Amino acid sequence: MDISVVIPLYNEDESLPELTTWIVKVMREHSFVYEILFVDDGSTDNSWAVIEQLKTEYPAVKAIKFRRNYGKSAALNVAFAAAQGDVVITMDADLQDSPDEIPELFRRVKEEKFDIISGWKKKRYDPITKTIPTKLFNAATRRMSGIQLNDFNCGLKAYRNDVVKTIEVYGEMHRYIPVIAKWAGFKKIGEQVVEHRARKYGVTKFGLSRFINGFLDLLSIFFVGKFGKRPMHFFGSLGVLSFLVGTFMALWLIGVKLYHISMNIDYRDVTDQPLFYLSLVAIIVGSQLFLTGFVAELVTRNASERNHYLIEKEIL
């Protein structure tokens, strides 16, 4: 099979017929062997009934329905497990992504050997309250991940099949799938300018809270990707540094006191000085960080995936 088109959705019954007809038209024009995989993320409208009707018209339609709303990441993760196409294309169900972009995305993955091609909605039809935070998060993600994409959160992306079979998307990590893929060893990540269409039906399902959650998810990905299998390197380093700084400050105060005593100079008690309490806090925090790293190391040593590595090819 050439292409799996993955479409997570939540209350999008109005747009589904038009979107499906458009995708089928593009696929037939280019003679692709394809499937359209809808994931209904607990919709409360008639989305599932519409999908069932579409299945009677188009045999390529497949669908999964969640009992309740779990979020886009869960929908994508389930769809990735079920997708059979050599190239997996993800797109939103609200008609803001154009199916006409699919042939070029497919070509670049197949012919140019990209692992991922991420869409870039260079010209957007979103309000400024959405575009400015999005630019800030994209800049922060570029800085932390080293991946030079302009639009990490664009729903229109193309993946090689083995990419989606390798990565796991959870929480709200769908915003950072290119980062997750990079940590998994898929480093050929490209970008393509795509059309962003104004929303035709319904309303957006995302609020301002997604920006806070997005930043926290980015920190999680960065930490897990860098220190997930060696937490002592992170916590232990910070702990030792804090402990040494606290110890140095305490010894400095004691040394100054002993010098003043030997020279018959008036002095303040060590415990009367604010620096003493700062040194005490640094020593305690350092010890706790070191112990945290030690416990985390014990946990990872007993984890089933500690020595789970991704092997691309073998000659045995």
- What is residue 210's predicted lDDT score, i.e. its pLDDT? 61
Helices (H) and strands (E) in the chain, counts: 10, 7
Per-residue pLDDT band for 205 (boundaries 50, 70, 90) equals low
Residue 163, pLDDT score = 96
Q: Averaged over 128-150, what is the pLDDT? A: 81
- The residue ranking higher by pLDDT, 301 or 286, is 286
Has residue 180 got a pLDDT over 50? yes
| Ranges 133-142, 146-155, 209-218: which has the least confidence | 209-218
Q: CA–CA distance from 261 to each of 66, 254, 256, 266, 267 (Å)?
A: 75, 11, 9, 8, 8
pTM for the model stands at: 0.74
- Residue range 190-194: average pLDDT? 94
* Domain extent listing, the chain: 3-226, 231-301
Report the pLDDT value the prediction gives residue 315, as an integer from 0 to 100: 47
- What pLDDT is stored for residue 8 in this prediction? 95
**What is d(CA 62, CA 51) in angstroms, rounded to the nearest whole number?**
8
| Cα–Cα nearest to 227, from 138, 148, 292 | 292
Residue 195: pLDDT over 60:
yes
Rounded to whole angstroms, what are the CA distances from 139 to 153, 180, 292?
Answer: 12, 17, 31
The DSSP symbol for 270 reads: G
Q: Could you please report the per-residue DSSP string of 89-104? A: EE--SSS-B-GGGHHH
Reported as a pLDDT band with limits 50, 70 and 90, residue 224 is: low
Cβ neighbours of residue 309 closer than 8 Å, sequence gap 6 or more: none
Distance CA 181, CA 204 (A): 27
What architecture (CATH level 2) is domain 3-226? Alpha-Beta Complex (3.90)
Looking at residue 231, its pLDDT comes to: 79
Q: How far apart are CA 192 and CA 299, in angstroms?
A: 41
Rounded to whole angstroms, what are the CA distances from 145 to 65, 149, 221?
33, 10, 9
The mean pLDDT of the chain is: 86
Decide: 177 and 168 in contact? Cβ < 8 Å.
no
pLDDT 10s digits, 61-112: 999 999 999 889 899 999 999 999 999 999 999 998 999 999 999 999 999 9
* pLDDT reported for residue 126: 66
- What pLDDT score does 101 carry? 95
What residue type is assigned to position 65 of the chain? K
Q: Is residue 142's pLDDT more than 50?
A: yes
Residue 21, C-beta contacts closer than 8 angstroms, at least 6 positions apart? none
Query: Does 304 have pLDDT greater than 60?
Result: no
What lies within 8 Å, CB to CB, of 224 at 6+ separation is 183
The per-residue pLDDT for 316 is 46
Q: Mind listing the pLDDT tens digit for each residue in 58-68?
A: 999 999 999 99
The per-residue pLDDT for range 236-278, each reduced to its tens digit, is 889 999 999 999 999 999 898 888 888 888 877 887 888 889 9
Q: Do β-strands 157-160 and 116-120 pair in parallel, antiparallel, or remain unpaired?
A: antiparallel
Strands in 61-65's sheet, in edge-to-edge order, are 61-65, 34-40, 3-9, 87-90, 157-160, 116-120, 189-193
Query: pLDDT digits over 206-217, tens only?
Result: 555 666 666 677
**Taking a C-beta distance cutoff of 8 angstroms, is the pair 13, 45 a contact?**
yes
At residue 313, the pLDDT reads 47
